[in-house]
């Protein structure tokens, strides 16, 4: 192998469904979906029937009548993810976790301890299988982009090493959908130009590409098509935001369902912020529609907040504004994130002369809500995070999806 192919991308295969099959041996070899009204994750056995993440549960059952739905073991997902990446960190301190089930590693400094990168990847895969019990695929290459593509080619439960001398010979025959940034819309635009493979894209005149996908996106895609990716592996420290999102399926146009989801998400974010003694000034919401298009809205507050009610109030206003601007469209996902973070921010109490909104932490209402949140957090520490919550969410037959499907780095805030 040529010098410099020191980047690994490791990706746990069908992670959520694989965990469920690990925890319940009776599910092994059977088509499994995590979720209910919406498929949040599917096992490879289910994917063979065309079942995909984001698909309505009813459609999934029509495609695969033997499909087994499970509600999800969210705490175990985090626990097992941490166990896997602890194994990665045994081989190199340069681990960039980009989600709960995948990470980049730079193993250039580990060659003298464990051997060449391909050997290191094989070691990690073997230890994950033996010590955790989960399948994991790995790609080894000179750039982050190509390492990720290689791990996708390696699936399921495989290893692909790309020699720097053979990069374009490996990359160019692959289908263009394997590239970062090529979703259904971009893929359709590229196919209208006759682009089927990454090699087709690489040979496309830049002017034709820009006319279909825009200047910035066109330059980015062309660079990747020639494996030009200068990004280094950067171990993730303190996250710059905390977020959660919920897939709503066909119920997303019901205002009550959206309200329950937003309250649940605000509660999850707020409790995580308070646990780490942090607060944030900028609230951002994301709304996705049934055509996969999405909009975001943000509001930056004068003071940082961590109260569930405050996060919920601002997020609700932003979602309402986004829906007013979008018109009558079916909503399939809502998300909230809190950024512009502060640590142990002091709260300046206010005289009772204003409107008393919970969005102002120093107001009388804001102070009362903060004390209530502290009491709820104490109950959860003692009896578990699901021991108490907002009545509208706890009593609802439809529980919104917890934030376990957010990037694992968010739990490091």
Burial 111-149 (b: 16+ CB within 10 A, else e): eeebebbbebbbbbbebbeeebebbbbbbbbbbbbbbbb
Burial class (CB in 10 A: 0-12, 13-18, 19+), 69: middle
Answer yes or no: 102 catalytic.
yes
Candidate list 102, 367, 407, 410, residue with the active-site label: 102
Residue 73 and residue 17 in contact, taking contact as beta carbons nearer than 8 Å: no
Question: Phi/psi zone of residue 277: left (φ > 0), alpha (ψ -120 to 50 degrees), beta?
Answer: left
Residue 244 and residue 261 in contact, taking contact as beta carbons nearer than 8 Å: no
Helices (H), 24-143: 44-47, 57-63, 74-91, 111-114, 117-127
Q: What would you measure as the largest C-alpha separation in the chain, in angstroms?
A: 72
Q: Where are the beta strands (DSSP E) in 169-277?
A: 241-247
Question: For residue 12, what are the CA distances in angstroms to 113, 137, 141, 208?
Answer: 24, 6, 18, 37
Rounded distance, CA 160 to CA 138, Å? 7
Q: Where are the beta strands (DSSP E) in 166-255?
A: 241-247
Instruction: Give the 3-state secondary structure of residue 107.
Output: coil
Active-site residues: which are they?
A: 102
């Amino acid at each position: 192998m040529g010098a410099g192919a020191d980047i690994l991308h490791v990706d746990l295969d069908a992670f959520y469904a694989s965990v469920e099959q690990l925890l319940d041996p009776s599910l092994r070899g059977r088509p499994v979906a995590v979720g209910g009204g919406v498929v949040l994750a599917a096992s490879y056995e289910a994917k063979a029937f065309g079942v995909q993440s984001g698909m309505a549960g009813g459609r999934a059952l029509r495609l695969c009548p033997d499909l087994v739905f499970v509600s999800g073991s969210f705490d175990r997902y985090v626990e097992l993810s941490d166990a896997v990446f602890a194994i990665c960190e045994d081989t190199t301190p340069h681990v960039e976790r980009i989600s709960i089930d995948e990470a980049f590693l730079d193993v250039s400094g580990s060659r003298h301890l464990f051997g060449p990168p391909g050997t290191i990847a094989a070691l990690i895969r073997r230890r994950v299988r033996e010590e955790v019990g989960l399948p994991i695929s790995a790609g080894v290459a000179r750039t982050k982009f190509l390492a990720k593509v290689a791990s996708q080619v390696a699936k399921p439960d495989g290893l692909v090493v790309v020699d720097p001398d053979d990069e374009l010979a490996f990359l160019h025959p692959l289908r263009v959908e394997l590239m970062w940034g090529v979703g259904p819309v971009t893929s359709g635009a590229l196919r209208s130009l006759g682009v089927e493979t990454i090699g087709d894209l690489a040979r496309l005149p830049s002017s034709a590409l820009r006319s279909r996908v825009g200047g910035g996106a066109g330059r980015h895609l062309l660079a990747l098509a020639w494996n030009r990716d200068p990004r280094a592996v950067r171990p993730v420290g303190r996250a710059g935001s905390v977020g959660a999102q919920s897939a709503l399926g066909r119920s997303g146009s019901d205002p009550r369902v959206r309200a329950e989801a937003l309250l649940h998400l605000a509660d999850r974010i707020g409790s995580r912020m308070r646990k780490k003694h942090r607060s944030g000034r900028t609230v951002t919401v994301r709304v996705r529609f049934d055509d996969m298009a999405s909009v975001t809205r943000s509001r930056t507050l004068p003071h940082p907040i961590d109260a569930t009610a405050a996060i919920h109030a601002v997020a609700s206003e932003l979602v309402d504004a986004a829906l007013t601007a979008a018109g009558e469209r079916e909503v399939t996902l809502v998300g909230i994130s809190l950024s512009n973070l502060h640590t142990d921010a002091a709260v300046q109490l206010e005289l009772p002369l204003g409107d008393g909104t919970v969005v102002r932490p120093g107001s009388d209402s804001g102070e009362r809500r903060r004390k209530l949140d502290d009491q709820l957090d104490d109950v959860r520490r003692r009896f578990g995070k699901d021991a108490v919550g907002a009545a509208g969410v706890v009593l609802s037959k439809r529980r919104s999806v917890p934030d376990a499907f957010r990037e694992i780095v968010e739990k490091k805030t």
